[in-house]
């Protein structure tokens, strides 16, 4: 019997994969940062009688989410379309990550906007 050769070559990490990985986590990280920053700024907003910093925290979080979604969208557009069942599994994985990152960013963007609603409705020290 002939022995099969084992390929010990490590797969190289493509920069596209790193960007897609960051884009996947952009939404959850932005939401967590927004939540933490908003809670920590609430006493300051009450002391200053201004919601400006709370609104800026929301804008910053939405900026992170938008950058993640746009990055994933643009990287996903560069990938080949169509089924890759018999083709390149890397392209399938990258396409899935791009779609997941866009969906995650949109979902967490809506959550961040929902968390902004009380800032518009309630008074600053409520």
Percent residues over pLDDT 90 in the chain: 63
Condensed to tens digits (0 to 9), the pLDDT of residues 55-66 reads: 999 999 999 999
- The Cβ of residue 75 has, within 10 Å, a number of other Cβ atoms equal to 21
What is the C-alpha separation between 84 and 90, in angstroms, rounded?
A: 9
pLDDT band for position 68 (50/70/90)?
A: very high
What single string gives the DSSP state of each residue in 49-76? T--HHHHHHHHHHHHHHHHHHHHHHHHH
pLDDT higher than threshold 80 for residue 97? yes
Rounded to two decimals, the pTM is 0.81
Residue 88: predicted pLDDT = 66
CB 25 within 8 A of CB 105: no
């Amino acid at each position: 019997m002939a022995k099969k050769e084992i390929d010990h070559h490590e797969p190289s990490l493509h920069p596209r994969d790193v960007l897609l990985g960051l884009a996947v986590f952009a939404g959850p990280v932005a939401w967590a940062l927004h939540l933490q920053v908003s809670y920590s700024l609430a006493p300051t907003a009450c002391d200053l009688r201004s919601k400006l910093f709370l609104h800026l925290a929301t804008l910053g979080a939405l900026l992170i989410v938008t950058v993640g979604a746009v990055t994933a969208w643009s990287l996903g557009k560069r990938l080949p379309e169509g089924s890759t069942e018999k083709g390149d599994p890397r392209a399938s994985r990258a396409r899935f990550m791009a779609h997941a990152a866009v969906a995650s960013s949109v979902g967490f963007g809506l959550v961040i906007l929902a968390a902004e609603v009380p800032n518009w409705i309630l008074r600053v020290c409520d």
